[in-house]
A and B are shown apart, each in its own frame.
Chain A
Amino acid sequence: MSRVLSYEEKNTWIHRLCGVTKLIFFLLWSLTSMLTYDTRVLLVMLVLSIVILRASKTEWRQIGTVFKFILFFLFINLIAIYVLAPNQGTLIYGTDTYVCHLFKGHDLNQEMIFYEINVFLKYMTVVPTVFIFLVTTNPSEFAASMNRVGISYKIGYAIAISLRYIPDIQSDFVKIKNAQQARGIEMAKKAPFFQRIKHICAILFPLVFSSMDRIDVVSNAMELRGFGKHKKRTWYMGKALKKSDYIVVAFVVLFSAVALFVTFRDGSRFYNPFI
């Protein structure tokens, strides 16, 4: 998993925030970005999120490959929207300002360009916050802080366990894949459909079934060490919420409220420069 986003220890005020603060920020931020289609709000959010990303001292090497991948993905999505619905812009903004003719049945108008820019912005405002959340949040501390805001510690621990065992299962996966390849089971691109499914099963079955055994062992181990004994538990990595945490939460709540107010003031979630 070379190009995967993962936590890296650094000392910035963002790293020092509680994991749950960053989760609340991320959730509210993406909720706002989901609801609004106001270009001005989206632009402000984009600029802000890039500023925060800079403040977290995140480097290009940490996110570069993933970022290129997102751009590629998003680009295809934008093309698909245009090909399938060239008049979506007009449908939303009500006007049709002709720019040029592209190909059969597909004229390009300003409304469509503007709509596509908005879609692009909408996705782009969330991406930096995902980066920030993943590369600055210590997973151990995150599970602990979830519990602090009232989410059941069992859910928090389930997340901790999944983070704990992802590397193990990943390495099992590679080992199994290699061994099966040596038996002639190639994950070849050209194989016919059913054969490909068959080959994937040869890797999937051992992986899934040995993971089911692991569930038994791990739950025994946890039970033997008293997990679930009490209604509450404490956390080695637990951090108390600090002033900065409250400030950040207050900021994001306020920001979302203002952003949504600005968006919906005229009764539409769209900002329309065409009228």
Chain B
Amino acid sequence: MEPIIEFKNFSFKYRSQKEPTLKDINLKIYPGEKVLIIGPSGSGKSTLAHCINGLVPFSYSGEITGEYTIAGKDPKKLDIFELSKSVGTVLQDTDGQFIGLTVAEDLAFALENDEVPTKELHERVDKIAKEVDVKNLLEHAPTELSGGQKQRVSMGGVMISDVDILLLDEPLANLDPATGKHTMELIDEINKSKGTTIVVIEHRLEDALFRGADRIVVVGDGKIVSDSTPDELICKDILEEQGIREPLYVTAIKHAGGKLTEEMTPSRIDTIDVSSVKELVKSWHDKNAVFCEEEKGETILEGKDIYFSYDGKEKVLENVNFSVSKGEMLAIVGKNGAGKSTLSSLICGFNKPTSGELLFRGKDMSDLSIAERGEKIGLVMQNPNHMISKPMIFDEVALGLSIRGIPEKEIKERVEKILRVCGLYPFRNWPISALSFGQKKRVTIASILVMDPEIMILDEPTAGQDYRHYTEIMNFLKDINEKLGVTIIMITHDMHLMLEYTKRALVLADGKILADTTPARVLTDETLSDKAYLKKTSLYDLAEMCDIEDPTAFCETFIAFEQRER
């Protein structure tokens, strides 16, 4: 069989860069295959995707050496439109990809550009809407859709042109775990039923492997460092070398001293055979089991009987009670629209609760302005580009202080101190535009920290970050939490984050607090994790397979062990 995508000694250098981004790529992908391309940020995996869909060289120009063919043709001789008939691309930013005013129009977009008559448009839109399960949403505007629904529309919108190759750029990045699972299921169905070749770019390996893959290609520093079956890859050390997170159950088995072999089919939790490592895992658990009693500090923030509604009819929050202790690291979890952001906007004072009260150190906050609250409770937005308004790092961090009329000398001292804490001091005179996404995030955190808040609320602090940057940011937050005693509240649906870095999770569903317990318990309780749109952790399954009586305790053992190791 002829490969549908083939790269031969292929290199690519962007026009504005000195070094090639892709070096000596040799890769064959066959029709009907499902291939996962993984690699850390900056490894070149996105550039590789751009080469497949034609953005390189048609939108991003540069120098190509070597040969490549896509769907049997030389892309250099085609144009991007010809290529888009063979390769359908689903971008990471579903809001950017969703161009139509309604679902139906967005699905029809590619066909409209191909001058398909209106009547046929309606037929084909109906058909594809069924396939990606958005039939009842056809007249909805994008603002009325969830992230998962938008993504299904994006997929439908490219599949409608009967593409041979479906290319997905980090499809899981903006989704909650449960929705991510559905996405991987849908991709798998498309692959099986239509025989479409699937190329998925991801760094969340465990989630991406939920329905398996034929092959995994690992890209590191512009080169292909591994090209093998998932089972093979899991047994090698490449993931660790490249800074890609391996599945949690794999890490657990390794901690227990177990050796993984291909025969165990270890790439998926539902296929792995643990008989050879079962006893090891069990005894490791018994040896390392922890009993931690959490001692509580003084209460710093409290919510009492909070109700909230935007329009006076529909309740967004209902009977919400919680308390936060000083120095805690706490997660607020729940699916999109469950009321997480609303709760944080009530705490910050952007909206006022319909009834109930919010207490800061026992005092009602309702008379405090947004700015007054901001001195006590800092908010870091998900997208750092939404906060940064100064070209230079120093000025950005100093902004909150200079607005408050603090003398210049004191500003300089405080900013420099915080820049040191945040590891940004060497960059203090750089323009922010020269920083990476993760570094920008740090700048926004620094710009809040400099005001000496007692509580910091972070909205999805690690969204879109690869494992290395994720670890960097989270360790940094942990540091701040421990050294400066800042209480940290994180709104997230990253399960690893809550499991590894928080001791308590508030689970919100439909505007109510469903649970207030340890992350390990949330992620091992199937009903609870389902309602919160999270996913039961694979550690739970591993514990069950190894006949460990209390899977929650196993989870806690694992976390404690990890924290000691770090």
Contacts and interface: CB of A to CB of B under 8 A. Distances in A.
B377 to A, nearest CB: 8
A226 B115 CA distance: 11
A179 B374 CA distance: 9
A228 B113 contact: yes
B387 interface: yes
Nearest to B349: A182
B537 interface: no
B16 to A, nearest CB: 15
A181 B89 contact: no
A220 interface: yes
A235 B81 contact: no
A67 interface: no
B173 interface: no
Contacts of B97: 217, 221
Contact of A236 (B114, B122, B142, B378): B122
Nearest to B371: A184
A176 B444 CA distance: 13
B113 A227 contact: yes
A72 interface: no
B392 to A, nearest CB: 13
A94 interface: no
A176 B382 CA distance: 11
Interface string B368-396: 01110111011101010111111000000
B330 to A, nearest CB: 19
Interface string B114-125: 111110011001
Interface in A203-255: 203-206, 209-210, 213-214, 217-218, 220-230, 232-238
The DSSP consensus for interface residues of chain A is helix
A167 B91 contact: no
Contacts of A163: 101
Contacts of B121: 234, 236
Nearest to A218: B96
Interface in A155-196: 160-161, 163-164, 167-168, 171-172, 175-176, 178-186
Interface stretch (B21-29, B65-73, B399-407, B489-497): B399-407
B348 interface: yes
Given A186-B369, A228-B113, A236 B386 contact: no
Nearest to B157: A225
A206 B388 contact: yes
Contacts of B118: 234-236, 238
B132 interface: no
A199 B122 CA distance: 48
B321 to A, nearest CB: 24
Contacts of A230: 113-115
A140 interface: yes
A87 B233 CA distance: 89
A187 to B, nearest CB: 10
Residue of B58, B98, B349, B374 with highest tally of chain A CB at under 10 A: B374
Nearest to A209: B385
B136 interface: no
Contacts of A217: 91, 93, 96-97
A97 B91 CA distance: 72
A202 interface: yes
Interface string B49-62: 00001110011000
A210 B432 CA distance: 14
A257 interface: no
Given A168-B95, A182-B371, A224 B53 contact: yes
Counting contact residues on chain A (CB < 8 A from B), the size range is 35 or more
Interface stretch (B102-110, B258-266, B468-476, B514-522): B102-110
Contacts of B93: 217
Contacts of A238: 118
Contacts of B101: 139-140, 143, 160, 163-164
B451 interface: yes
A201 interface: yes
A140 B101 CA distance: 6
B99 A222 contact: yes
A125 to B, nearest CB: 30
Interface in A9-24: none
Contact of B386 (A201, A210, A220): A210
Residue of B91, B161, B377, B447 with highest tally of chain A CB at under 10 A: B91
A220 B104 contact: no
B448 interface: yes
Given A183-B400, A226-B81, A178 B370 contact: yes
B84 interface: yes
B200 interface: no
A183 B447 CA distance: 9
Contacts of B85: 226
Contact of B105 (A176, A224, A236): A236
B257 interface: no
A179 B387 contact: yes
Residue of A164, A184, A204 with highest tally of chain B CB at under 10 A: A184
Contacts of B117: 234
Nearest to A213: B385
Contact of A226 (B95, B114, B385, B404): B114
B389 A203 contact: yes
Contacts of A161: 99
Given A180-B389, A230-B114, A220 B84 contact: no
Contact of A182 (B143, B374, B383): B374
16 contacts: A163-B101, A164-B98, A182-B350, A183-B399, A184-B375, A184-B404, A184-B451, A186-B371, A209-B385, A220-B59, A222-B109, A225-B161, A232-B115, A234-B111, A234-B121, A236-B118
8 A-B pairs with least C-beta separation: A217-B96, A182-B374, A236-B108, A226-B113, A205-B389, A225-B110, A202-B389, A183-B400
Given A183-B378, A223-B84, A226-B84, 19 more contacts: A160-B100, A163-B101, A164-B100, A176-B381, A183-B400, A184-B400, A184-B404, A220-B59, A222-B109, A223-B59, A223-B80, A225-B110, A226-B85, A226-B114, A227-B109, A228-B113, A236-B104, A236-B105, A236-B125
